[in-house]
Amino acid sequence: MTSDSSAPPTLPAPRSSARMLELVFPKDLNGHGTAFGGFVLSLMDKAASMAAIRHAKGSVVTARMEAVDFHLPIRRGDAVALEAEVIHTGRTSMRVKVDVYRETLATGEQQLATSGVFVFVHVDEEGRPARIGPQP
Ligand SMILES: CC(C)(COP(=O)(O)OP(=O)(O)OC[C@H]1O[C@@H](n2cnc3c(N)ncnc32)[C@H](O)[C@@H]1OP(=O)(O)O)[C@@H](O)C(=O)NCCC(=O)NCCS
């Protein structure tokens, strides 16, 4: 029988941010051989939603994608490093900033490739907007 003292520790996760790392495969490329914009947007939506869920402590839906700028192409074989953070909270909605870096894994170099702001709404089981609780 395992005693409590040998149980792995439970660590607190970040409350209002999220990080992700992905690789770009051939299926993710456009005709120019660089990452398809919709692929990058879906990764941004995923990372941003995780930051929003952590912040709202419940389900969220994407309400708006705004001000997405593609600064640099992301190349085949690059890693895609995403950083998402809640930057503003309303009654039921949140604005989440997402920065996407293209990374050469072998050298560890990262460059800001895409950035954007997403709006998420915290929803109840019926999909209706629900108030976001107080933050610590
Ligand atoms: C997002 C959604 C829940 C909003 O429902 P609604 O009844 O229109 O909500 P309300 O008008 O009461 O607004 C609720 C909040 O959302 C914000 N909001 C709603 N639509 C928005 C939009 N397009 N852009 C920015 N904020 C928006 C409002 O400003 C409000 O914020 P606040 O409570 O912080 O002041 C609803 O439109 C919806 O379900 N949309 C589809 C979501 C979806 O399918 N996403 C893709 C897959 S996850």
Element (H, E) at 89: strand 79-89
- How far is residue 67 from each of residues 61, 71, 77, 117, 118, measured CA to CA in Å? 18, 12, 26, 6, 8
Ligand 1 in reach of 61 Cβ (< 6 A): yes
Task: Please tell me the predicted confidence (pLDDT) of residue 3.
Answer: 54
| Spatial CA neighbour of 105 closest among 128, 74, 80, 68 | 80
Task: Please tell me the predicted confidence (pLDDT) of residue 93.
Answer: 98
pTM score of the predicted model: 0.94
Give the tokens for residue 131. 């108030």
CA-closest residue to ligand 1 atom 13: 129
Given a cut of 80, is residue 136 above it in pLDDT? Answer: no
CA-closest residue to ligand 1 atom 37: 63
Ligand 1 in reach of 64 Cβ (< 6 A): yes
Q: For residue 15, give the DSSP letter.
A: S
**Is 96 within 8 Å of 87 (Cβ atoms)?**
yes
